[in-house]
Structure 1
Amino acid sequence: MQAHHIDVVADFTYNSHNSNYNRDYKSWRSTNKLPCMYRFSGDPRAAVYVTGDAVSRPTAKNTERLALMKCSEKIGIALLIVLLTELIGGSVAIWILRRMHLDIQLDPISLSMVGSPWLLTAVRCLLLLLKYGIPALLLIQICRIPRKVALPIMRGGLREEVAAVGFAMTAAAVYSIFGASAGVQAAQEIFTHKDFSAITAAGLFDAVIGSFLAELLMRGAILQLLRQFGDHFAVSTTAVLAFLLPNALPDRIGELLIGLMAGYLMLKGGSIMKCVHLRVVYVSLCYARLMLIYTEQVMPLWQYALLLSSFGTLLLAYYAVVQENPFRLDNRKTQLAAGEKLFAMTQTVTTLPWLAAAALVTLFQIFY
């Protein structure tokens, strides 16, 4: 029996509900000549494959491993920027502003910023831009990700919108349960400034602009690069990367859930706006939870979590009924096994130090 010709790009399944995204993603993988593109073709009998950088490799596995390492190298740069901004961005901003004789300082006990409400709002907004915006734009630029791939938009898609709201409510319910004992300090830090306009501006920026920039980085850039190596691998790895970013444990759990849910919606619906809507609803519900805490729990948190989980379950049940194969993703297997992919990702000079630092910060924040 004659062996068939192998073409990774042609054999890939492009089946999101957005036909334009399917076409643009396939075109990007077919034409981009960067080494980070996983693209090989050839006759299995010859055992020679051509990668994205037009260099022949002896085996398909070696081709995939090298392409994944190139992707991981670029992703590591973006994640290092996120990590540094989260760890020292606030301190650097305070130092610069204090040199300008502005009313802001760092509380040595809570490690939170105190000062003028509007100045605090401006600093937090700036840090969000630096944390997500700069890495996202840098990664999109160096990997030459087209706008239509990084920001695919599809009008309509009511079913995915329903799923996005259901996912967001479910994630917010889980966050409310795990963060029940950690919300008092956060609520006091946010709402004790007594400047409602500054609080509103900060909340809106976080919920809308922050959500868009976070999804642009995680789903618009990182997920698109990793999708070459399998849908399940891309969704789960992106979610784990978000979990490892510096945060309190409840926030990490929320980011993990959002990563899984938004990644699924991105690949299923082919529209990044569904992911943004999911995160906007999630962040808004988390702020609503803080308001409940600050107002001495007009509604007990367990009732709030139960209400969210009930409505979220109903919406997801509706989505499961009206959507054919609702929670299935294709492109499950590539040449490398999951363990081999994870090992390849950690073998670069940018990802390895980020992973080590993120793991240390995670252990410190969880246990101390």
Structure 2
Amino acid sequence: MDHHLVLPPLRHEAALLPPPPGSRLIRLHGESMGTGWSLSVYAPPGLSEADLRALTGRELAAILALFSPWQAESEISQLNRDPREDLQVSPAFAALLGPMLDLARASNGASDPTLGTLVDLWGFGPAGRRSGLPPAEKIAAARAVSGWQRVSFDPLSGRLQRPCGMRFDFSGSAKGLAADQISAALSRAGAGHHLIEIGGECYARGLKPDLQPWWLAVETPEPALPGWRVALYGMGLASSGAAQNCFFHAGRRYAHSIDPATGWPCQAGPVSVTVLAQTCCEADALATALMVLPLAARTAFIARRGLSALIFEADGRVSPSPLWAAMTKDDDAQP
């Protein structure tokens, strides 16, 4: 089958060198954050499989302790239960909340961490799936306590003001952040040549012994479509799709991406979006935004921010952004 190779510019964050002599390839996998994770790493001498698994576990646990609504004592769960409108969040929580509120503002709420009440109402939160559609009055009430416009936040002090009943949700960025954090921890441990994947969100650093980057295949919604393979080096890759987390009612599919303009799951828009960005967290959040934005707004947002994105439209079209297209070449040979 024909396929396309995506060759981003190299980021010279380190010398383009292979793994150190004596490094061995170790592959690990596990489950966390409601999904699976996998790690491929060229480990230097002295760094064991047990060391790598423990390191990965510590970083995942730290993210869960901050942002998992499924853990009753996580910071986000305590924040969502707190009836006060004026609160203080930890520096680690603020480090993600600040940029995500900025992105919510820039995307007109298409990727918004304040929509947790709506996410829960539609059955995509810890309470589990719905057996039917929520009543219109409950949707209106959830919308009334949701939205980045209703938040006042000082990222330096961590002071947060929000309406009572607002619930935060970082399902569109926390897995990407975890991938970034694990990558940084691996590099500090001397294992700077690796690929980490969490539920389809990926970050790669360093090269393989043959000086090849880490090649990742983009999942396509239809097997007959040409494939896409991305050379990942010091960047993050994330995808969001209508089929990844959804439920059906009366023969209609309701996806997890919530449209803040209506309070309903998006009923139009792409089948899936893949974004390449400097961090996996950024790619994760941007993919969510592009799933929600209407076509004209999405096109303008991509152009304004210079995004590298591949979009599979509902009508079967494949729409690479200009930057993605500029990095693409056709090649019938496997790299």
> Which structure has the greater CA radius of gyration?
1
More helix as a share of residues = 1
Q: What TM-score comes out, normalization by structure 2 length?
A: 0.35
**Structure 1 length as normaliser, TM-score?**
0.33
The structure that is strand-richer by fraction is: 2
